[in-house]
Amino acid sequence: MENLEFTPSMFVVLFLAFLFISYFMGMMIHAAWMHDDHPKMKRNSRMAWVLCMAAGTGITGWLFAYGYYVNF
C-alpha cells in the first residue's frame, strides 16, 4: 500500500472527534439558550434539542473546515 496522506483509521478518528465535539457544543448551546426564558419553547422540547444540536454541528463543521484549510 502506498503512503497515503490520510489513512482509514485517521478518518475514523476524525469522524468520532467531530461527533463528540458536535454533541458537546450542542449541549453548551442548549444550556446557554435555555437559560433565558423562551415563552414559545419548552425547556426540554425536542425542537430545542434539534436546533441546538444542528447549531453545534454547524459550528463544529466550520471549525474543522477552517482548521483544515487555514493550513494551506
DSSP secondary structure letters along 7-30? -HHHHHHHHHHHHHHHHHHHHHHH
Residue 37 belongs to a domain: yes
Q: How many domains does the chain have?
A: 1
pTM over 0.85: no
Residue 1 belongs to a domain: no
- List, for residues 2-40, the tens digit of each pLDDT value: 777 778 898 899 899 999 999 999 888 888 877 666 667
Residue 30 belongs to a domain: yes
Domain around 46: 8-69
Q: Which of 28, 33, 34, 36 is nearest to 60 (CA)?
A: 28
Does residue 43 carry a pLDDT above 80? Answer: no
61 C-beta neighbours (distance < 10 Å), count = 13
Residue 32 belongs to a domain: yes
- What is the amino acid identity at position 50? V
Contact 8/37 with Cβ under 8 angstroms?
no
Residue 42 belongs to a domain: yes
Please tell me the distance from the alpha carbon of residue 9 to that of residue 19, in angstroms, as a whole number: 15
Residue 55 belongs to a domain: yes
What average pLDDT does this structure show over 40-59? 84
Residue 3 belongs to a domain: no
